[in-house]
Each structure stands twice: as C-alpha cells, then as structure tokens.
Chains A and B, each alone.
Chain A
C-alpha cells in the first residue's frame, strides 16, 4: 500500500505509461493525479459558472424573464454545491497533489493507489449530483445548506444529494489522510516541520480540518436521509425533533469548511509574495501559528450562521466574540504579506498581480465578515445580498484568485513552457475589474434589504442588479481567456521555462527540471537551508 514510501522502485517506472488509459485512469503518480484534479476543477468551475450566468441573467432586471422560480432555486443550490465541492476543493487538492511531494522532497504521496481512488470517486459523485436535474421534480432546490424541513419536502433529489455528499466526503477524507501521511512521514531528511513551505503547512492543517468535519457532515445528512425515508424525527418538530439541531450540526461542519477553502489559499499567497518581492516571508512562524489559530477558532464559531434562529443571549455573545477573534490571526497574515512586500524588489508578473489582488479583496471580504459577526447588525444583514457579497469576496477574489495565481505560478514548472504574460495580465485586469463590478454593488443591495435566493425583486433594486449582472457576464467570459492561456502554454508556447522559472523563487520544487519529470526525488534531496523557501527560520 505504501509502495511509494519506499526507495525500492523499479527502473522501468521512470517514464509515464504510454497508454492513455493506463496513464490517466490507473495513475498512481501524484503529478498526473494532480493534473486530473485540476482539469476536473476547471470543468466544474465552468459548469458552476454557467449556472451563475443564468442566475445573473434572470436577475438582470426585475420580473421573471428566463427561468421558473423553482428552477432558479435549483440553480442557486447547485451552483454552490458545484463550486464548493467540485471547483474550489478539488483545485486545492490538485495543487496539493502536485506540489506537496515536490516541496517536501518526497518521491510521491504516501498512499498512491488511494490517491487514484480519491480522484476517481469525484466524477461519479458529480454525475450523481448533476443527474438530479433530470429527475421528476428536478434537482435539489432547498439551498446548499440542506436545512430541513424545506430540503426534504421536495422530490427524491435530496437522496441523490445525500449520496453525493457521502461519496465526495469519502474522497475528501481519503485525500486528507493521504496528505497528512505524506507530510508527516515522507519528508526528505533535514526537512523539519518548521522548514516546510507555508503551502505545505496550510495543507497539513486543512487536512486535519477535513478529517474532523467531513464525517460530521456525513452524519448530519444521514440523519436527514432517515428523517425523509425511514421514519426518524431528528429534525422533525412534530415527532419530538428539532430542525435547529440540523443547523448546529451542519455549521459545525460548515464553518471549518470555509477555512478548508481558504487556508490553502493563504499558503499559496505566502509562497508567491516572497518570490516576487525577492525577500523571505516576513514572520514565517507567526504565519504557521496564525494558521493553526484560525483552524482552532473555526470550531467554535459555527453559530454565527444562526444568530437569527433564536439563540440564548449568552450564546450569541460567545459566538460573536469568538468570531471577531478570528480577525486577529487573519490580521497577522495580512500584516505579514504587506511587510514581506515592504521594501522588496517587487515585480508584477501575473501570479503576483493575483496575489496582491487577493490581499486587498480578501480583506474586503474579511471586513464584511466582521460586520456580519456583530449580532445586532446581523439581524439586519442576514439572508440579504450583503451575505452573498461577503462570501463571494472571500471565495472568488479569495480562494478562486489564489488558485488562478497558483496556476500561473506553477504552470511553467508543470508544463515546461512559459505562459503568455500579456494574456495573463489581460486575464487579470479584466477579472479584477469585472469581479468588483459583479460583487461590490451586492453590498448595497443587501444593505437596502434585497433578500438572497429570489428570482424577482423590487424595482428599487434594479440598477445595482443590472450593474452586477454586467460584471458577472464580463467576469464569466474573461475566464475563457484563462483556459486559452493554459492551453496555449501547455501545447503551443515556444518560450521554454527554466528550472527555477522565477528569479526570486526558492524551495525544492524549483530544483527539479521544467517540466517536472514523471518521477522526482527517487533519491532523497540534500536539504540546503539557504535554498529553502523560508531560509533558515531557526535563527
């Protein structure tokens, strides 16, 4: 099982298998599986994105234009599920698969066959989920949070959704086990924990979060399943249950899930900013401790999603203060990124542009998070477009921008070619402008009282909705440039990448050739502290 954990590899395994089927369907190679994850995530990004385009088209002006209200609810529900479980999470797993073994000097993941299975569960899970559109009664429409009683009052699509959650949850758990086992056991000699790149640290902590909360989600949805089909009443008030119990259990998963989607992003940004600032990361250890603090706090803030359900005052105060406390380690991170750039020899290649945009725009999402954490204010904001604006700033200009930054940063290492910097920058500037046109007006809509998840709205909200939709269409179309840049880089680019790729890059991943050979570090690398991403942090 732990074949790659050994050095007893066979010489005939040095090249990728020639057969397409063997290489891509039966792969145990971390790079190929990483590529599969990234391609899958990109596909899901466009499927989820096309749902977003339909949503924004419907909301372009007041009244019902394009879709039936029930189908609109299906779209909002499925858009969230596809983007969270299909695009953002698999993209980070793909990046982790590709880069973690390279960054810690390991020949592969600790459990390569399980790695294959982790990936190949996902296409099946999403076939189950997306096929629910064709069921009588349509796809799940009760919101991605699956709150009962609404979620179990529809058709049988909820059973498909629950099965999807189970299968993709197993995939996530297996991926997390693999990442933890790799990081703890497969590091090259001399790669101490506090010499690991920050991206590896953030993934280690994220993997522990996944292990802790994915089984909780599985448990919650199983209770939902038995409530609908097997006569239990966990969440049915008529049978002695409590629907609010589901919200508690769901958000005990759901809030750490937010950090599962942002901690690896923090890691990526912490790799990119030092490279293009030509300085070591400021406060390496503080970054590690801040990541761990955020992870810990993520377990004690879940009820801030439920301030309006009628919690006791003491609970509301506790969850308000605990939530606001998260601003401290997050502030440490933002401070350290800015301080890393301070007096650095900055250049603004595409990955750095996305990273700087991340720091600014994620912070806007963080500030609106603080606003939402205030109990009295939350009663006004909750279930409005302000919440939609908040979490899209965190997840699109946060998580998605970090993934784009990572792709531009590591694509030359993966493909051996340089992408078009001109088109990368065009992609960046169109994205950063349009995404703000898309999401910033949603703050105003929310503050003015426009509710979430509605296909029609008062004419008072018309102007900002139209602006938001225009931003959405431009942002959506712009992402086709991203695909074009990737395809051009991988298949057509003439300019070859050097091994180090970027002038300021440091770390083991830059010591292997570009493109990275199919097998790397079959012989453990010698760790030279001066070449590590964060220098000799012990002194």
Chain B
C-alpha cells in the first residue's frame, strides 16, 4: 500500500469500493456482536 491506486478511473473506483466494502464489513461484524446479545 506504499503507492496509491493507479490514476486509471476504473481501477481507482474499484479500489475505493474495496476499501469501503472492507470497512463496512468490519462495522457489520461489530454491530453483529451486539445483535447476538439480544438473541442469546
């Protein structure tokens, strides 16, 4: 990750999507742990 994504628009869009996807997944996992509190 030393160098940023290529300046090619399509590659950059894909890289942004990957980053956002990863972060949203992390948030869903944290919220999911709380959700477990309500069902167990």
Contacts and interface: CB of A to CB of B under 8 A. Distances in A.
A215 B30 contact: yes
Interface stretch (A65-73, A146-154, A173-181, A355-363): A173-181
A6 interface: yes
Decide if the interface of chain B is mainly helix, strand, loop or mixed: helix
Interface in B23-40: 23-24, 26-27, 30-31, 33-34, 37-38
A5 interface: yes
A187 B17 CA distance: 16
A120 B17 CA distance: 23
B34 A219 contact: yes
A1 B13 CA distance: 8
A187 B4 contact: yes
B12 to A, nearest CB: 4
A524 B30 CA distance: 37
B19 A192 contact: no
Contact of B20 (A177, A187, A219): A177
Contact of B5 (A180, A185, A212, A232): A185
A5 B16 contact: yes
Contacts of A345: none
A186 interface: yes
A192 B2 contact: yes
Nearest to B7: A524
A362 to B, nearest CB: 30
A180 B31 contact: no
Interface centre among A5, A111, A180, A232 (most CB of B within 10 A): A5
Nearest to B31: A215
Nearest to B3: A192
A86 to B, nearest CB: 23
A218 B30 CA distance: 10
Contacts of A524: 7
Interface string A1-13: 1100111100000
Contacts of B2: 192-194
B6 to A, nearest CB: 8
Contact of A2 (B1, B4, B12): B12
A186 B30 contact: no
Contacts of A193: 1-2
Contact of B4 (A191, A218, A223, A226): A191
Interface in A217-263: 218-219, 222-223, 226, 232, 234
B24 to A, nearest CB: 7
B35 to A, nearest CB: 8
Contact of B31 (A184, A186, A219, A232): A219
A297 interface: no
Contacts of B37: 219, 223, 234
Instruction: List 3 tightest A-B contacts by C-beta distance, closest first.
Output: A219-B34, A6-B9, A187-B4
Interface of A: 1-2, 5-8, 110-111, 173, 176-177, 180-181, 184-189, 191-194, 211-212, 215-216, 218-219, 222-223, 226, 232, 234, 524
29 contacts: A1-B13, A1-B16, A2-B12, A2-B13, A2-B16, A2-B17, A6-B9, A110-B16, A177-B20, A180-B23, A181-B19, A184-B1, A184-B15, A185-B15, A186-B4, A189-B3, A189-B4, A192-B3, A211-B27, A212-B26, A212-B30, A215-B27, A218-B31, A219-B37, A223-B34, A223-B37, A226-B38, A234-B37, A524-B7
Given A177-B20, A180-B23, 11 more contacts: A6-B12, A6-B13, A110-B16, A110-B19, A111-B16, A187-B4, A194-B2, A215-B27, A215-B34, A223-B34, A223-B37
